[in-house]
Structure 1
Amino acid sequence: MMPKKILIVDDEPSITVPLKFLMEQNQFDVRVAHTGEEAIAIIDTFSPDLVLLDVMLPTVDGFQLCQRFKENPRHKNLKIVFLSAMTRDIDIAKGNTLGADAYITKPFSNAEVVKQVKELLAG
């Protein structure tokens, strides 16, 4: 069976490096994008099953990316999990309204992220 594919989109190496390692330890095939543009370039060729998405990105933010991915019929089964330092109810509500499957606030526990990813990809 092919490993599930995860795209991590975050501009902080202090987040992407350990997160990539963590996901690979859990047998996922992982790619990393540090900007929205990079994510857009990677998503069509890599076709991830799930995106771990930061909200605050340079130029194209996570909310815009989420909306763009969800509007594209090619990505209709894509799961999106926001990992964000934006913890206000209004931000979380916006993420959910745009179609996110989960919204995890930073700082997050690795166990929580792995659990959420596995639950979403099991369904």
Structure 2
Amino acid sequence: MTSKILVVDDSKLVTDIVKLRLEMYGYAVRLAHSGEEALERIAEEVPDLMVLDVNMPGIDGYEVCRRLRDNPLLDDLRIIMLTSSDDKSAAFEAGVDDYLNKDIDLLNLPNRVKLVLEME
């Protein structure tokens, strides 16, 4: 079964790059460009994993993550924060499963996605 991934970033360039990269590995990818849109997409269909940016207008990535973690129906949803922010501790406090830096780790994203999806 193909894993479903929601990529959330306010930069269309970033979402397009991440989508292409993940689709090369066979993942089904949907996009959202704001925290609000991400929450709407998850209400429509829960993905297996979300790749989430921090800095977005409106609801930021930390708040999106906290809201999702507060919902017991979404316990199985895995979240990777992919951001240029350096505040790893805030990301993990919000409830992410993994943290990647856009500038350094983008090429490793498919490998990390695979590892996080295999987590129990």
TM over 0.5: yes
How much does 1:73 deviate?
1.2
CA contact (8 A) 1:7 1:51 kept: yes
Deviations along 1:6-29, whole A, 9 cap, x unmatched? 000001111110110111111111
How much does 1:5 deviate?
0.7
How much does 1:98 deviate?
1.4
Give % identity.
Answer: 36
RMSD: 1.1
Length-normalised TM-score, structure 1: 0.92
Gaps of at least 5 residues in structure 1 are none
Cα distance change, pair 98–109 in 1 and its aligned pair in 2 (3 A)? closer
Alignment of 1:4-83 (within 5 A): 4-83=3-82
CA distance in 1, matches of 2:104, 2:39: 25
Letter in 1 for 2:57: P
How much does 1:112 deviate?
1.2
CA contact (8 A) 1:9 1:54 kept: yes
**What is the count of residue pairs matched by the alignment?**
119
Deviations along 1:30-70, whole A, 9 cap, x unmatched? 11000111101101222111110000011000000000011
How much does 1:110 deviate?
3.5
Length-normalised TM-score, structure 2: 0.94
Letter in 2 for 1:66: C
Letter in 1 for 2:65: C
Letter in 1 for 2:82: L
Letter in 1 for 2:46: S
Is residue 117 of structure 2 the alignment partner of residue 121 of structure 1?
Answer: yes
Q: 1:98 — aligned with what? A: 94
Letter in 1 for 2:112: Q
CA contact (8 A) 2:3 2:27 kept: yes
